[in-house]
Each structure stands twice: as structure tokens, then as C-alpha cells.
Amino acid sequence: MARVLVIRGGAIGDFILTLPAIRLLQENIPDCQLEVLGYPGIADLAVKAGLAQTTRSISDPRLALLFAKNATLDPALVEYFTRFNLIVSYLFDPDGILRDNLTRIGVKTLLDSPQRIVNGTGHASEQLARPLQKLAMFFEEPHWRSPTFPGTTKKPCIAIHTGSGSLTKNWPLEHWQRLITELQKKHPQHSLVGIVGEAEIERGLLPQNLLLWQNLPLTELATQLSECQLFLGHDSGISHLASACGVPSLLLFGPTDPNTWAPPQKNVRLLRAPAGDLKLLPYEVVRDTVFSLLP
């Protein structure tokens, strides 16, 4: 049995874009037992997708010493890291301190992968998988989604996520609210659900007059999303989750480059804002596109 550790921090979308690389490892290494060292809740998506067997929290304070030069690590951590045949790290390590510490304690095979995604050099998922070429593993399926996510039968449900990681990536809330009202009038057979997390609550991005899925664990949200008929959102981690779950999606893109950051699945449709400013994306364009996607 080959034991493989993938170290991956980052936000929801960054992690989901790494799943195809994790899939390459799982499929190309015989008898692979794969673990993810990442943020609790987010890393669990790899288990949900059937790509990892276990996870461990990257929030362990003892791990900070990995970035201290010539640090003496906790013996339990030494035992933990040296049990793996291969470690693939996505942690930012510009001075090589992490690499030196892991090598010094006896880690034999460590593969560094890029932390920073660069526009114009391929889709983010491709860039994240590119270092695996050193192991003769080549990225060929950017639109992959996990067959272990449920949802082969779609319900007449439209999921809407009005937030993202940055206010500049959000279409104005008043437009979303107007769209919700029109959808409820013209498509009463569809249930509308708003996806809400801490960021939306703090920024006052709470849509009104519809059911809310609030602060759901990501693995539970994946189950709920996979049964939806349509997802509406921005460039966000939740949009990547919906797309990976096989939900037909309409995403509104502003300042970010969709050639790099848009979900690569085939069921995704994009609307780009003029000059990258979502305030300039006309309400009527979005409304008419949404209605064209509904029976």
C-alpha cells in the first residue's frame, strides 16, 4: 500500500480546483491510501468525492515549526510525516524552509506544487496538476466531477449564492432581489434557496423572501446542491462546488479571468461584466439568460 499525503490550505474554490490533481494521484498510484492535510470542513470534500480516505487539520499549532529554520519538530509529527511514501505540498514555501525541514526529518519524496496561480498560463486546475508531470501523471480531464456526489434526479429547485470572496466580484444585491421576485412570479413551480455563510451575514448580503441554507457543512451542502436544477452565482468557492456536483450553473464574472478561474465543467454558462465591473452588467441581460435556462 502506498501512503500519499496532500497538503492543501486555501479557500473552498482553491481546494476544489485541486481535486483533479488529487484524482490523478489516486488513479495512477496502485493501492493508494491518500490523506489530505487541510482546513477542517473543506478538506472533507476530498473524502466526499471519493478521492481521499482520511483528513487531518492543518490548523494544528505544532505545524508552525515547519516554517522555522532548523526547528525541532514534535516527535509525533516526525512520525506522522515520515509514514508517507509521497508528500505533495501546495503550501507557500519561497525560501524552501518547509522542504528543508521535511527532508531533514526523513521525508524521502516531496513534490512542491505552485501556490500562486498565474493568468494566461492555463486554467487553475491545470496549473495545480502540472507539477505531477514529474511523476508521469498528465492532466487530461478539466471538466471532471466526482460520480460519488449524489443528485442524478434533479428537483425543481434553484440555488442562489449572492456572495463571493470579494465585494468587487458581486452583482448588486438589489438586482438579485429583483430577480428573485420575478422568478417567484413567473416560475412558481420552482423552489428558490439562498446559500448563506458568515461572509454574507457580515456584509449584509442576505437575500429576502426565500428559504436559506445557512452555514451548512460543505459536505451537506454538496448533497443539497447536487439535487438542484439550476445554480446562480459569481466567481466563488460555492460556485465551484455546485459545478463539481453537476448542477447546471449561470455564473456572473467581473474582474477575474474566467479562462483561469471559471469552473471547468461543461454545464457552466458565464456572463462577463463590461470592463470587469459587475455594476455595469445589465439586469435584463441576466434575467433573460436565467429564464432561457428554465423550462
Query: Do 186 and 227 fall within a single domain?
Result: yes
Cα Rg, the chain, nearest whole Å:
20
User: Which residue type occupies 30?
Assistant: P
> What pLDDT digit, counting tens, does each position of 205-256 carry?
778 888 999 999 999 999 999 999 999 999 999 999 999 999 999 999 999 9
Nearest to 101 by CA among 62, 74, 65: 65
pLDDT > 70 fraction of the chain, expressed in percent and rounded: 95
Query: Do 40 and 162 fall within a single domain?
Result: no
Query: Do 186 and 284 fall within a single domain?
Result: yes
User: Which residue type occupies 217?
Assistant: P
> And the C-alpha cell for 75?
516527535
> What pLDDT digit, counting tens, does each position of 181-204 carry?
999 999 999 999 999 988 888 887
- Domain membership of residue 141 (yes or no) is no
How many residues are listed for the chain in this entry? Answer: 295
> And the C-alpha cell for 111?
513534490
Per the structure, the complete domain to which residue 109 belongs is given by 2-135
> What pLDDT digit, counting tens, does each position of 139-169 carry?
876 555 555 555 555 789 999 999 998 999 9
- Domain membership of residue 261 (yes or no) is yes
Per the structure, the count of domains in the chain is 2
- Domain membership of residue 164 (yes or no) is yes
- Domain membership of residue 15 (yes or no) is yes
- Domain membership of residue 260 (yes or no) is yes
Assess contact for 103 and 110: CB atoms under 8 A: yes
> What pLDDT digit, counting tens, does each position of 40-57 carry?
999 999 999 999 999 999
Pairing of strands 268-272, 54-57: unpaired
The CATH number that applies at residue 95 is 3.40.50.2000
- Domain membership of residue 18 (yes or no) is yes
